[in-house]
Amino acid sequence: MHQYQLQRAIREETDANLKTTHVLGLYLNRQYENLQGMLQQVYSDGTVSDDMVYFLDHDYETYLGHRLNAFASSAGSRNRTFDLVIKNYLEQDAAVRSVSVYSYAERFSMYVGRTSRRIDFDSGADPVWKEWADGGRAGFRGVPASGRIPGDSQDDEGYAEQDAAVETDSGGAVPAVPGAWAEDVPRRDAAGVPEERTEAQSGQTGGDRYVYTRELQDPWTLRRIGLMVVEFDAAKLDALLQSQAPAGSGQILVLAADGTAIYDSEDRYAGQIYPYRPDASGETELPGDAFRTNELGVAGSGLSVLGVVSEAAVDRSMAGLTGMLILGTVLFAAASIGFAAVIIRSHSKKVRRIIRSTSRIGAGDLTTRIEMSGEDELQQIAQRINAMCGQLETYIDQVYTSEIRQKNAELALLQSQINPHFLYNTLESIRMKAYSSGAQDVGKMIYSLSVMFRSLVKKSTVVSVGEEIEICSMYLDLFRIRYEGRLEAKIEADEAAKGCRIVKLLVQPIAENYIVHGFRPLDDDNRVAVRAKVRNGRLTIAVEDNGSGIAPDRLAEIRLMLGGGAPAPDKEHRSIGLINVHERIRMNYGESYGLTVDSEEGRGTVVRMELPAIGEEASANLQT
């Protein structure tokens, strides 16, 4: 976290420093353009350049006479002059303190300040002018903070009194661009404008000021005739950075072409050669406490703006943040420990509650439920245990109830059975006696009854649909013979249905229910049909009759019992056969199978049996 914040602080300091170098670079570029515009005006205007040459080549009295003659010849109109251009330049740029011009031929100088102007007739005796004029006329010299530049006043008698006051700044000056330059003026180009020379440009600060020097030439002969020194106010740079530069910008320097620092925001290298400049290979040696530097050149001026992001600046930016990080870390650690303690305690309580509940469940108390709040893993475990107990209770109840019902069904079946072997043998003797006596109808009835009992003797409890329908057919034949001409029975089954395997004695009890409750003995149009078919993997067996039907209230009661909403009837009630068949189907095939009853009183009844269409292999698990 600290490393991230450190990198963030370095990035913020670097961005602020880069923005400041751009602000200062644009500022210096505008100031340089203003200065070059003033010089361009001097050389491009023939009247002004002629006035400059005449001013520097003659003594001041002769120049004044020349000005008066020019004024008279122009009928009193104000001509464009060299000093007027300088005055306008001072009014345009608020950062310019003064402009001084020195004549090589006459050895005098003119000082034009923001509030005054003077002529020093014996400037040649001033060692500062002598040094600057003789020791490299086309260059810029650094001035120590306590040093003097050409044009500075002194208390000796070598300087004249103030000649004339200069108008004060109008207030509309453009922003000052701090910097100092020096350059020669080369020969004129094809347009008559002197070309700039850049081989001798440099800069230096003098404490709260910096200067620009330029040698003046006759534009026609390229003869060196004088020296111009422009003095700038360095305080304007500080004001610029305070108003427009972001906070935490690091160290900002303005370097001349020779590496001299003409401005240093920290006053460490002002007036000195800055030692950390890019070498010939382009590599930059950083100060010992610096992270990186940003350098921006000012086009054509020889100046460069250098921004240095130091370790000290980053440390200052990180000081408050580091304390906050330490405090935040301590608070976070304390909160984490407290939170972890609460969570552990809560989980421990839940675990103990689960252990106690599972112990009761293990002892057989399936009604136990674990009450637990929250949305964690222990809550999910408790929910699963509760669901498991509920499912176990439901399963035990279903198995227990199913076993009771199965036992009741078996008991009812046993109660309805008699010794099949004894009955079969007795019936066979009676049948033979009937045939020998010529009672063939009686013989047929005894045969049908014998076939039925023979199927009951078989130990197999699962038969094919074909065998089950044959038993039902034999049963109906008994009553068809008995009520000759008053009962018509029809059996229909497709081959797919005949091959299906079902539990024995499912169809015959339904036919018996019709004979007992729906058959009309006095009518001769009684009809019953048994149909079996297979559709979409389901076996449907329907027993349809045109008997007396079922009353609506009784039909609703039967449907309620088939749906499990009412207890099964005892032996004294009607429809015990239907309910018995329905329960046997559900025990063997599941809750989705069973009987449905549709009936209309006086019109007949349809009982449909829905079973899965299964073959012999799949019927191995079926039971009665």
CA 13 – CA 290 distance, rounded (Å): 12
pLDDT, residue 60, reads 87
Q: Which parts of 170-234 fold into alpha helices (H)?
A: none
pLDDT of 180 above 70: no
Distance CA 431, CA 447 (A): 7
**pLDDT given at position 443:** 76
Q: What is the mean pLDDT of residues 491-503?
A: 92
Tell me what the mean pLDDT of segment 487-504 comes to: 92
What is residue 274's predicted lDDT score, i.e. its pLDDT?
Answer: 84
CATH of 460-619, one of 3.30.260.10, 2.102.10.10, 3.30.565.10, 1.20.120.1150: 3.30.565.10
With cut-offs at 50, 70 and 90, classify the pLDDT of residue 327: confident
Q: Where is average pLDDT lowest: 19-33, 307-321, 486-500, 554-568? A: 307-321
- Of the listed ranges 171-185, 277-291, 346-360, 372-386, the one predicted with least confidence: 171-185
272 or 158, which is more confident: 272
Residue range 38-77, pLDDT digits in tens: 999 999 999 999 999 999 999 988 998 988 888 888 765 5
pLDDT of residue 320: 64
582: helix, strand or coil: helix
Query: What is the distance between the terminal CA atoms of the chain, rounded to a whole angstrom?
Result: 77
Q: How confident is the model at residue 555 (pLDDT cuts 50, 70, 90)?
A: very high
DSSP of 103-147, one letter per residue? Answer: ETTT--EEEEESS-EEEETTGGG-HHHHHHHHS-TTS-----TT-
Q: How distant is the alpha carbon of residue 135 from its chain centre?
A: 69
Kindly report the pTM of this predicted structure: 0.46
Would you give the DSSP letter of residue 325? H
| pLDDT for 122 beyond 80 | no
**Residue 164 confidence (pLDDT):** 36
Produce one character per residue of 582-591: b if its CB has 16 or more CB atoms within 10 Å, e if not: bbbbbbbbee
Average pLDDT over residues 575-600: 89
* Per-residue three-class SS string for 425-489: HHHHHHHHHHHHCCCHHHHHHHHHHHHHHHHHHCCCCEEEHHHHHHHHHHHHHHHHHHCCCCEEE
Which of the residue ranges 130-144, 153-167, 239-253 has the most confident prediction, judged by mean pLDDT?
A: 239-253
Closest CA to 244 of 23, 61, 444, 81: 23
Structure tokens at 557: 């009661």
Check: CB of residue 618 under 8 Å from CB of residue 433. no
Which two structure tokens, joined as six digits, stand for 534? 């297979």
* pLDDT given at position 296: 82
Residues forming CATH 3.30.565.10 domain(s) in the chain? 460-619
Given pLDDT bands bounded at 50, 70 and 90, which one contains residue 314? low
Question: Could you give the CA distance from residue 19 to residue 307 in angstroms, rounded to a whole number?
Answer: 9
* pLDDT at position 386: 87
What is the percent of the chain where pLDDT is above 70? 74
